[in-house]
């Protein structure tokens, strides 16, 4: 071996302390299936805690800027009083009636939008570097550092309440550094799960596993809403402590790869040989049986993997929609009359969790459908197209009653988060083990980072634009979201056509085989 060759992380990783302790207690080695269970559970709670920390900002928005009700929430063609609260009717149920400087001025929503874009811009940029580093480091240590750092800077944001800090730049810098630490999460957890699970039922498994995003959002919403009455600083401190604790669990228990803990993949987890022509017509599914010596895949090389650029751009627009809801839905609900009544900030935060409940169902459904159809692009594009009428209906009729609002919010979350979940999990893992890599497993974090990093640029732009557009009209905000969903679906057109063509070809091939079998049967 050349002295300049990079060390393979799998040879340098050791069993986590918690795993060694479990084996000592059991007095026996841990089975492969048990390792898989540990990986799913630990990574699930790890990334759920990332999202719990991330969701807090959207819950606290209306407390920091309660006077933003002057935003025009009117929808054309409907009576204005359904959406726009009058000065006499305006009741803001928060501890800080006048908000928190500097966010309680006329430009409050724009400043909050600036915080969102600063966080997400650094997050998306850091994602590219995180993926590059993740394929070259012990992911257990890398993930632990990211989680503890995220917890620290989430708590520091809350310190602004206790230390009476009113400098916008303090919150801006804290959010930017928090975004940098948050970028370590997604490439790491997807790479670890991809290392332990083959392509068999990957869409369904990762669809269920991806519920961590919505579970984290729901947990963060409930914790932040419950603690608002004690001061908004607690809404940041509690999620910060939570993710730091889970980071410790990751350090103690997470096995990064089978080789790092001295076990071999079971037969049904090893990549199967690719089908005839599969590498051309279905670039996501299929891999070569030949395995080459692992080496880290370069950034440019990863971009050239078939399907990576297409799905990365699709996720750009998909995440623009999803993250606009993530950061602005509680704010929107608290400033929209539902059945003629306005909700408190805490209640709006609790109600917004129905979007994430729909997202859990959507992620599982999209993963299961894509497995059954053997068609990731068709599934993702179909969900994005269905998201367009769902967005329109929620904007148009969400005010009618609480039941209608919840039902439409659930449906919108299902179609918006379904493809988002599918692309960031199963699709990323498929592309990270693409046939063109010849069995090289050290591209997972890089490919995942490219796809989610590009998507996170859209996630930054959506909330930023919303902060400015919402000051004039929420109609324009929803129009922007519907256009983004349409573009996301259209970007997958080439892959959809390829998948349809492959299925037609497979159907004809099976028909020819059956026909030859029937004609070859000798007559009696």
pLDDT tens for 174-215 read 999 999 999 999 889 988 988 888 666 666 787 788 888 878
| CB neighbours of residue 226 within 10 Å | 16
Q: Report d(CA 214, CA 211) in Å as an integer.
A: 5
* pLDDT in the model for residue 339: 85
Instruction: Give how far Cα 498 sits from Cα of 201, 314, 321, 380, 490, Å.
Output: 21, 16, 26, 14, 14
What number is the average pLDDT over the span 260-269?
72
* pLDDT reported for residue 522: 56
Band of the pLDDT at 48, cuts 50, 70, 90? very high
Average pLDDT over residues 385-390: 95
- CA dist., res. 190 & res. 450, Å (int): 12
Question: 228-266 b/e with 16+ CB inside 10 Å = b?
Answer: beeebbbbbbbbbebbbebbebbbbbbbbbbbbbebebe
pLDDT of residue 55: 87
Place of tokens 């080439």: 494
The span from the CA of 355 to the CA of 327, in Å, is: 12
Question: 151 or 306: which carries more pLDDT confidence?
Answer: 151
Query: Measuring CA to CA, how many Å separate 238 from each of 52, 56, 229, 290, 345?
Result: 10, 10, 14, 49, 18
* pLDDT, mean of residues 162-173: 95
pLDDT at 96: 44
- Distance (Å, whole) CA 367 – CA 205: 8
E-state strands within 161-236: none
Is the pLDDT at 328 greater than 80? The verdict is yes
Mean pLDDT, the chain, whole residue set: 80
Q: Pull the structure tokens for residue 309.
A: 């650029």
Going by C-alpha positions, the residue among 107, 70, 95, 103 that lies closest to residue 85 is 70
Number of C-beta neighbours around residue 504 at 10 A? 10
Residue 419 has pLDDT above 60, yes or no: yes
Between 254 and 330, name the one with better pLDDT: 254
Predicted confidence (pLDDT) at residue 273 exceeds the cutoff of 60 = no
pLDDT band at 84 (very low <50, low <70, confident <90, very high): very low
- In this predicted structure, the answer to whether residue 81 has a pLDDT above a threshold of 70 is no
What's the rounded Cα separation, in Å, for the pair 208 and 213?
10
Binned at pLDDT 50, 70 and 90, residue 292 comes out as very low
The upper half-sphere exposure of residue 176, i.e. CA atoms within 13 Å in the direction of its Cβ, equals: 9
- Rounded mean pLDDT, 426-441: 59
- For residue 300, pLDDT beyond 90: no
In the chain, the percentage of residues whose pLDDT exceeds 90 is 33
β strands within 312-441, DSSP E: none
Measured CA to CA, the distance from residue 17 to residue 251 in angstroms comes to: 8
97-135 pLDDT per residue, tens: 578 999 888 788 788 878 888 898 898 889 888 877 877
CB 387 within 8 A of CB 485: yes
Retrieve residue 500's tokens.
Answer: 């349809």
Encoding tokens for residue 453? 């990093």
pLDDT at 519: 66
CA dist 493 and 318 (Å) reads: 15
- How far apart are the C-alpha atoms of 349 and 165, rounded to whole Å? 24
DSSP string, 249-297: HHHHH----TGGGT----GGGSPPBPPTTHHHH-TTS-B-S------PP
Find where tokens 């650094």 sit.
122
Q: pLDDT band at residue 435, thresholds of 50, 70 and 90?
A: low
Query: Which carries the bigger pLDDT value, residue 233 or residue 524?
Result: 233
Q: Tokens representing 101?
A: 């400087």
- Between 445 and 243, whose confidence is greater? 243
Question: Can you state the percent helix, strand and coil of the chain, rounding each to 5?
Answer: 75, 0, 25
What's the pLDDT score for residue 294? Answer: 56
What tokens appear for 191 in the block?
A: 């790479």
3-state secondary structure of 24: helix
The C-alpha torsion from 65 through 70 and 72 to 74, rounded to 10°, is: 110
Task: Report d(CA 370, CA 383) in Å as an integer.
Answer: 11
Q: Which of 122, 453, 192 is nearest to 309 (CA)?
A: 453
Residue 293, classified by CB atoms within 10 Å of its CB into exposed (0-12), middle (13-18) or buried (19+), is exposed
pLDDT score for 296: 58
Q: What percent of the chain has pLDDT over 70?
A: 78
Report the range of poorest mean pLDDT among 36-45, 149-158, 257-266.
257-266
- Min mean pLDDT across 28-32, 44-48, 293-297, 491-495 is at 293-297
Predicted confidence (pLDDT) at residue 420 exceeds the cutoff of 90 = no
- Which segment of 209-213, 353-357, 480-484 scores lowest on mean pLDDT? 209-213
Q: Using alpha carbons only, how large is the chain's radius of gyration in Å?
A: 24
Checking if the pLDDT of 170 tops 80, the result is yes
Asked if pLDDT for residue 509 goes beyond 70, the answer is yes
What is the model's pTM? Answer: 0.70
What does the pLDDT average to over 316-330? 88
Count, residues in the chain: 524
Around 380, how many Cα atoms within 13 Å sit in the side-chain half-sphere?
A: 36
Predicted local distance difference test score (pLDDT) of residue 460? 79
Q: What is the pLDDT of residue 443?
A: 63
Question: Would you say residue 140 has pLDDT above 90?
Answer: yes
**Mean pLDDT highest for which of 116-120, 238-242, 258-262?**
238-242
- 465's CB contacts (< 8 A; 6+ apart) are 113, 477, 480
Q: Which ranges constitute the DSSP H helices of 27-79?
A: 32-64
CA 362 to chain centre: 13
pLDDT at 336: 86
In the numeric block, the tokens 């367009």 are attached to: 388
Average pLDDT, stretch 408-420? 92
Looking at the predicted structure, is the pLDDT value of residue 335 above 50? yes
């Amino acid at each position: 071996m050349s002295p300049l060759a990079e060390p393979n992380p799998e040879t340098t990783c050791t069993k986590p302390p918690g795993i060694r302790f479990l084996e000592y207690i059991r007095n026996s080695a841990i089975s492969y299936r048990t390792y898989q269970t540990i990986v799913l559970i630990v990574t699930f709670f790890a990334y759920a805690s990332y999202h719990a920390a991330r969701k807090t900002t959207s819950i606290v928005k209306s407390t920091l800027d309660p006077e933003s009700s002057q935003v025009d929430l009117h929808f054309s063609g409907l009576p204005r009083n359904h959406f726009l609260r009058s000065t006499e009717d305006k009741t803001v149920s928060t501890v800080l009636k006048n908000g928190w400087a500097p966010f309680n001025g006329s430009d409050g929503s724009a400043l909050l939008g600036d915080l969102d874009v600063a966080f997400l811009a650094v997050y998306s940029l850091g994602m590219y570097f995180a993926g590059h580093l993740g394929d070259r480091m012990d992911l257990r240590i890398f993930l632990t550092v990211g989680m503890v750092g995220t917890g620290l800077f989430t708590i520091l944001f809350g310190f602004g309440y206790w230390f009476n800090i009113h400098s916008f730049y303090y919150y801006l810098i804290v959010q930017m550094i928090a975004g940098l630490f948050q970028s370590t999460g997604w490439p790491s957890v997807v790479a670890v799960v991809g290392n332990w699970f083959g392509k068999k039922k990957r869409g369904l498994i990762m669809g269920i596993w991806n519920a961590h995003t919505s579970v984290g959002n729901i947990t963060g919403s409930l914790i932040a809403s419950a603690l608002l009455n004690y001061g908004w600083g607690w809404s940041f401190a509690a999620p910060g402590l939570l993710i730091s604790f889970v980071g410790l669990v990751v350090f103690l228990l997470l096995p990064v790869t089978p080789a790092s803990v001295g076990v071999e993949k079971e037969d049904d987890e090893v990549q199967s040989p690719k089908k005839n022509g599969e590498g051309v017509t279905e670039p996501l599914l299929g891999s070569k049986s030949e395995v080459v010596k692992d080496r880290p895949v370069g950034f440019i090389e990863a971009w050239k993997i078939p399907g990576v650029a297409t799905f990365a751009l699709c996720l750009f627009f998909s995440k623009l929609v999803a993250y606009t809801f993530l950061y602005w839905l509680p704010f929107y609900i608290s400033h929209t009359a539902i059945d003629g009544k306005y909700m408190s900030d805490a209640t709006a935060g609790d109600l917004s969790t129905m979007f994430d409940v729909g997202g859990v169902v959507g992620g599982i459904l999209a993963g299961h459908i894509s497995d059954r159809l053997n068609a990731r692009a068709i599934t993702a594009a179909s969900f994005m197209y269905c998201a367009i009428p769902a967005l329109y209906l929620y904007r148009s009729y969400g005010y009618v009653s609480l039941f209608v609002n919840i039902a439409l919010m659930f449906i919108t979350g299902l179609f918006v988060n379904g493809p988002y979940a599918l692309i960031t999990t199963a699709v990323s893992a498929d592309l990270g083990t693409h046939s063109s890599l010849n069995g090289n497993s050290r591209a997972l974090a890089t490919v995942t980072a490219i796809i989610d990093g590009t998507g996170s640029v859209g996630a930054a732009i959506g909330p930023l634009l919303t902060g400015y557009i919402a000051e004039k009209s929420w109609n324009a905000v929803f129009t922007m979201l519907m256009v983004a969903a349409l573009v996301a679906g259209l970007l997958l057109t080439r892959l959809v056509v390829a998948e349809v063509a492959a299925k037609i070809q497979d159907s004809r091939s099976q028909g020819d085989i059956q026909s030859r079998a029937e004609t070859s049967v000798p007559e009696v």
